[in-house]
Amino acid sequence: MISSRFAAIAQSQTRNSIAIEEKGRRSELFGINVFNESKMLQYLTKDALESLKSAMVSGSKIDRKIADQVAEAIKGWAITMGATHYTHWFQPLTGSTAEKHDAFFDLLPNGTALEKFGGGQLVQQEPDASSFPSGGIRNTFEARGYTAWDPSSPAFIYGTTLCIPTIFVSYTGEALDNKAPLLRALSAVDDAATAVAKYFDKNVSKVNATLGWEQEYFLIDKALAHSRPDIMMTGRTLVGETPAKGQQLDDHYFGVIPSRVLSFMSDLEKECTKLGIPVKTRHNEVAPNQFELAPVFEEANLAIDHNLLLMDVMDKIADKHHFMVLFHEKPFAGINGSGKHNNWSLATDTGVNLLSPGSTPMKNLQFLTFFINTIKAVDTYEELLRSSIASAGNDYRLGANEAPPAIFSIFVGTQLSSVLDELEGVSKGKLSPEEKTELKLNVVGKIPEILMDNTDRNRTSPFAFTGNKFEMRGVGAKTNCAKPMTILNTIVAKQLKDFKKEVDALIDKKSLKKDEAIFNVLREYIKTSKRIRFDGDGYSAEWESEAKRRKLSNNRNTPEALNVLTSKESLALFQSMKVMSDIEVRARQEVDLENYILHTQIEGRVYNELVYGYIMPAGIAYQNTLIKNVSGLKEIYGAAHKKFSEGQLTMIEEIAEHIVSIKKMVDAMADARKKANALKDTKKKAEAYCTNVKPYFSEIRLHSDKLEKLMDNQLWPLTKYRELLFIK
């Protein structure tokens, strides 16, 4: 028990950087393992290429004959690349990805062997759906589920397997995954945004939601990580005294990347480049042994697939370099946790970012239209957006060490706020020529100049405008981006749809000109969504009080945050936008609550193991050493020993007090878990785990960490924070 820590430290000291050979340009390596457009031109017939491109752009169906041609082409390419198997690569409600590999190999009736892969295998597969969480949509005895090809995300080769991105649905048609609702939400925002964009440019025929994620993570030496049962079982440290030095000197942030880590990053980037993941930025993050990776912006569906693939690649490359990647949102107490900032925008097929101002007042009016409608959407559905980032891990991160609070607000900066304030004063109805000139030249026309200097970022804002995009900062490092992106694109689609109705009504019924009607509707939105705008410190008690006055939600934990999913308004929203049915929404709420219960339950069990298997035995062993020392002093000095053993006696008492407290707390927690487990209702069980079980965690940790401070370093069994965080 004791030696494992020091054996791990010794092993970590033997590590050397692995040399990564980098030849040629990244651009030449990019996408070589992806069946992208250049491969399509090589392997597909003209008809198959046109049909596949149409499916990718507009979502049109591919008939079986064309599917057979595409399958044959992909198989031919994959085999030349060394692939032996294929899989439908999908996103069940576990939050990660899943795959079942089948060989291209088959036998004819006469026993002849051949490589086989047809349109049927490409378009649809039938994996077992019973063992994936479904929130009650499927029963254990109803195993059938279907994976269906998503042509908008290209197939790729990972190792020796051809991976085909797919959706995952039940036999009765309900979505059992995170991708299907996302695709529906992206279709909804495309339709709604395209209709509004046509006010400004009739040539726009499609609008894509774009996403640029920023993946934060910790890298810990594999031997050190394996020496900690809590890291292995939960992805975070459940106990651990804060070291004398943490992140307070800010010396790690943007510092020189350690050689072993740089080698890992180079290897990772090489693999990502082959897989078409456009990784661009790498750097040290704020906390020791914390790092960040960010790509070039992509269409949202593809960006999400790439992020999920990236996390899998990171695990494999880290293992090769004798690291473990920690994606948990708060793996270490007292220092920054890890997020996955989602930078979101809308882009037209004519090459325009709708959240970027232009060179003319009309282009700036277009920018304001999408900017203000996004603010209005977030204001209307702030509680729903908060629910999309709720998880057991993210509960530890939100509101701590620079992470945004649980209260949703939007930061736009003082200069843009002043623009909105001026627009709020626009006259109702028709505008005079003077007002139009004033607006277009002195207010709207100056937006590019304003944004040029609007570089300040409020790091505590959950939703911040950062120049030409909105940055959703509360997303946890482990979260599948599909969840927040489904909600965000759905609420923006609904808002843009409502906006167009209001503008068209003013044009048709009030005879207002287009820009007058737009200004009138935007003015009302600015007024009604004012409560969500906040440029100050999200951690302050004053803001919490002010947010309550503004009637903004403050759901501090996952069970609270998930309640809104099944509200009448939420169900109506998803149904009206054809993103999810009532059954699908309720299923996701059930799955997320169950996930919260299981994560908290596992942590409680690990606390039991740590306390009885590591912490208490170590404390008692050191206590025995002190008792032996006091007995020896007494034997030598008799009654006079007290002046020599006062310190030891005090420590014996303190150790005893902490051991008693730890045992008491862990036993009480176990009882609370039993009571929670007896509850049949999932919501009530999640609430019980949150309010009756989880509070014991911090108490157990408090006494364990104090005990660690008292202990002989040689006797403490668990690898310490200073070792986990500062051994590179």
Residue 415: predicted pLDDT: 83
Token look-up 């626009």 returns 426
Give CA–CA dist 612/661, Å, rounded: 13
* Closest CA relative to residue 636, chosen from 648, 626, 644: 644
Whether the per-residue pLDDT at 138 is higher than 70: the answer is no
pLDDT one-digit tens code per residue, 279-288? 999 999 999 9
- Is the Cβ–Cβ distance between 146 and 607 less than 8 Å? no
Residue 127: predicted pLDDT: 67
Whether the per-residue pLDDT at 70 is higher than 80: the answer is yes
What percent of the chain has pLDDT above 70? Answer: 96
Give CA–CA dist 90/96, Å, rounded: 9
- Is the Cβ–Cβ distance between 592 and 562 less than 8 Å? yes
Q: What are residue 164's DSSP bridge partners?
A: 88
Quote the tokens at residue 300. Answer: 């949202």
Backbone angles phi, psi at 470, to 5 degrees: -105, 135
Give CA–CA dist 26/46, Å, rounded: 30
Whether the per-residue pLDDT at 1 is higher than 70: the answer is no
Confidence class of residue 450 from pLDDT cuts 50, 70 and 90? low
Q: Which residue has the higher pLDDT, 25 or 562?
A: 562
Average pLDDT of the segment spanning 332-353: 96
Quote the tokens at residue 160. Answer: 């020796």
pLDDT one-digit tens code per residue, 671-681? 999 999 999 99
Q: What are residue 161's DSSP bridge partners?
A: 85, 158
- Is the Cβ–Cβ distance between 533 and 412 less than 8 Å? yes
Radius of gyration, CA atoms only, the chain: 29
What percent of the chain has pLDDT above 90? Answer: 69
- Is the Cβ–Cβ distance between 199 and 369 less than 8 Å? yes
pLDDT one-digit tens code per residue, 374-421? 999 999 999 999 999 999 999 999 988 788 999 999 999 888 888 899
Instruction: Return the SS3 of 139.
Output: coil
- Residue 538 CA from chain centroid, whole number: 21
Among the listed ranges 105-114, 298-307, 637-646, which one has the minimum average pLDDT value? 105-114
Among the listed ranges 141-155, 218-232, 587-601, 701-715, which one has the minimum average pLDDT value? 141-155
- The type of residue at 478 is K
Confidence class of residue 269 from pLDDT cuts 50, 70 and 90? very high
- Is the Cβ–Cβ distance between 460 and 404 less than 8 Å? yes
Average pLDDT of the segment spanning 209-234: 97
DSSP 289: T
Residue 457: predicted pLDDT: 60
DSSP 643: H
Quote the tokens at residue 706. Answer: 């104090």
Number of H helices, E strands in the chain: 28, 17
pLDDT one-digit tens code per residue, 498-543? 999 999 999 998 889 999 999 999 999 999 999 999 988 888 889 9
Average pLDDT of the segment spanning 623-641: 90
- Is the Cβ–Cβ distance between 480 and 308 less than 8 Å? yes
Residue 453: predicted pLDDT: 53
pLDDT one-digit tens code per residue, 398-410? 988 788 999 999 9
Q: What is the mean pLDDT of the chain?
A: 91
Among the listed ranges 243-252, 292-301, 558-567, 686-695, which one has the minimum average pLDDT value? 243-252
Pairing of strands 161-170, 85-89: parallel
3-state helix, strand, coil in the chain (%, to 5): 55, 15, 35
Whether the per-residue pLDDT at 710 is higher than 70: the answer is yes
- Is the Cβ–Cβ distance between 616 and 718 less than 8 Å? no
Whether the per-residue pLDDT at 143 is higher than 60: the answer is no
Q: What are residue 291's DSSP bridge partners?
A: 217, 284
Neighbours of 441 (CB within 10 A): 11
- Prediction pTM value: 0.94
Report in angstroms the alpha-carbon separations of 175 from 93, 94, 154, 179, 563: 10, 13, 21, 8, 21
Residue ranges and CATH numbers for the domains of the chain are 31-176 (3.10.20.70), 186-237+246-580 (3.30.590.10), 595-725 (1.20.120.1560)
Strands (E), 370-473: 410-411, 463-465, 470-472
DSSP 344: E
Residue 28: predicted pLDDT: 84
Residue 47: predicted pLDDT: 85
Longest dimension (CA), the chain: 105
- Is the Cβ–Cβ distance between 512 and 519 less than 8 Å? no
Report in angstroms the alpha-carbon separations of 219 from 235, 310, 323, 726: 12, 15, 6, 11
Report in angstroms the alpha-carbon separations of 208 from 183, 299, 346, 574: 11, 6, 6, 20
Whether the per-residue pLDDT at 455 is higher than 50: the answer is no
